[in-house]
Structure 1
Amino acid sequence: MKLTAQIKLLPSDEQAESLLRTLERANEACQYISDYAHESGEHSKYKLQDAVYHDVREQFDLGAQITVRALGKVADAYKTNPNTHNQFDIRGGFPYDSRILSFYTDRQEVSIWTLGGREKISYEVGENHRALLEQDKGEADLIYRNGMFFLLVSCQMPTANMSDEDVEAIDGYLGVDRGVNNIATTSDGDNWTSDQIDERRQWYQDRRDTLQSVGTRSAKRELQRLGGKQARFQRDTNHTISKRIVSKAKARNSAVVLEDLSGISERTTVRRQQRARHSNWSFYQLRQFIEYKALIAGIPVIKVDPAYTSQTCSNCGHCDSKNRNGSNFECQNCGHSVDADKNAARNIAARGAVNSPMVASEA
Structure 2
Amino acid sequence: MKIVAQVKLLPVSAHDADVLAATLRACNRAANAVSEVAFAKDLKRRDVLQDAVYHRVKADFDLGAQAAVRTVKKVCDAYAILKGNMKAGNLGSEGAKRRIRAESKPIVFRENAAQPYDDRILTWNLDRRTVSLWTVAGRIKHIPFVCPPEAMKLLASRRGESDLVMREGMFFLIATIDITEPPVSEPDGFLGVDLGIVNIATTSDGEIMAGRRLSRYRKRHRDLRAKLQKKRTKSAKRVLKRVRRREARHAANTNHIIAKQLVATAERTSRGIALEDLSGIRQRVTAKKDQRARLHSWAFAQLGAFVEYKARRTGVPVVHVDPRNTSRQCSKCRHTHRTNRVDQARFVCRSCGTVLHADHNGSRNIAHRGEAVWKRGAVNRPSTA
What TM-score comes out, normalization by structure 1 length?
Answer: 0.79
Contact 1:139 1:153 in 2 (8 A): yes
In 2, Cα distance between equivalents of 1:300 and 1:41: 42
Residue 25 (structure 1) aligned to one of 16, 23, 26: 23
Q: Structure 1, residues 178-214: CA drift from partner, whole Å, max 9, x if none?
A: 1111110111111111112211211222222233334
Deviation of residue 60 (structure 1)? Answer: 4.3
Residues 71 and 120 of structure 1: is their aligned pair in 2 closer, same or farther, counting only changes over 3 Å?
same
In 2, Cα distance between equivalents of 1:102 and 1:274: 50
Which segment drifts farther, 47-56 or 312-321? Answer: 47-56
Contact 2:345 2:359 in 1 (8 A): yes
Q: Which residue of 2 aligns with 1:185?
A: 202
Residue 212 of structure 1 aligns with an amino acid whose one-letter code is Q
Corresponding position: 1:323 with 2:344: no
Q: Which residue of 2 aligns with 1:57?
A: 58
Contact 1:7 1:152 in 2 (8 A): yes
Residue 348 of structure 1 aligns with an amino acid whose one-letter code is I
In 2, Cα distance between equivalents of 1:130 and 1:305: 40
User: Alignment partner of 2:261: what SS?
Assistant: helix
Deviation of residue 39 (structure 1)? Answer: 11
Residue 95 (structure 1) aligned to one of 103, 116, 121: 116
Report the identity percentage. 40
Correspondence 1:249-328 to 2 at 5 A: 249-325=266-342, 326-328=344-346
Residues 154 and 62 of structure 1: is their aligned pair in 2 closer, same or farther, counting only changes over 3 Å?
same
Corresponding position: 1:143 with 2:161: no
User: Alignment partner of 2:244: what SS?
Assistant: helix
Which segment drifts farther, 40-49 or 203-212? Answer: 40-49
Q: Structure 1, residues 237-273: CA drift from partner, whole Å, max 9, x if none?
A: 0111111111222222221221222222233222222
Residue 144 of structure 1 aligns with an amino acid whose one-letter code is M
Contact 2:199 2:208 in 1 (8 A): yes
Contact 1:77 1:86 in 2 (8 A): no
Residue 331 of structure 1 aligns with an amino acid whose one-letter code is C
Residue 22 of structure 1 aligns with an amino acid whose one-letter code is L
Q: Structure 1, residues 4-51: CA drift from partner, whole Å, max 9, x if none?
A: 54222345x15x743540331341453366479779984867798667
User: Alignment partner of 1:192: what SS?
Assistant: strand
Contact 2:201 2:209 in 1 (8 A): yes
In 1, Cα distance between equivalents of 2:3 and 2:288: 33
User: Alignment partner of 1:246: what SS?
Assistant: helix
Which segment drifts farther, 349-358 or 181-190? Answer: 349-358
Residues 346 and 270 of structure 1: is their aligned pair in 2 closer, same or farther, counting only changes over 3 Å?
same
Q: Which residue of 1 aligns with 2:134?
A: 113
Residues 137 and 273 of structure 1: is their aligned pair in 2 closer, same or farther, counting only changes over 3 Å?
farther
In 2, Cα distance between equivalents of 1:220 and 1:83: 31
Q: Structure 1, residues 31-88: CA drift from partner, whole Å, max 9, x if none?
A: 3664797799848677986676445434543212223444566788897596599584
Deviation of residue 101 (structure 1)? Answer: 3.5
Q: Which residue of 2 aligns with 1:341?
A: 359
Deviation of residue 95 (structure 1)? Answer: 3.3
Q: Which residue of 1 aligns with 2:255?
A: 238
User: Alignment partner of 1:261: what SS?
Assistant: coil
Number of residue pairs aligned between Structure 1 and Structure 2: 351
Q: What value does the CA root-mean-square deviation take over the aligned residues?
A: 3.8
Q: Which residue of 2 aligns with 1:247?
A: 264
Contact 1:175 1:345 in 2 (8 A): yes
User: Alignment partner of 1:356: what SS?
Assistant: helix
Which segment drifts farther, 125-134 or 270-279? Answer: 125-134
What TM-score comes out, normalization by structure 2 length?
Answer: 0.75
Residues 220 and 77 of structure 1: is their aligned pair in 2 closer, same or farther, counting only changes over 3 Å?
farther
Q: Structure 1, residues 280-328: CA drift from partner, whole Å, max 9, x if none?
A: 1111111111112222223222222222111111111111111112211
In 2, Cα distance between equivalents of 1:101 and 1:82: 36
Corresponding position: 1:9 with 2:27: no
Deviation of residue 98 (structure 1)? Answer: 5.0
Gaps of 5+ in 2: 83-101, 379-385
Residue 358 of structure 2 aligns with an amino acid whose one-letter code is A
In 2, Cα distance between equivalents of 1:228 and 1:175: 32
Residue 191 of structure 2 aligns with an amino acid whose one-letter code is L
Contact 1:140 1:151 in 2 (8 A): yes
Gaps of 5+ in 1: none
In 2, Cα distance between equivalents of 1:36 and 1:289: 34
Residue 146 (structure 2) aligned to one of 111, 120, 124: 124
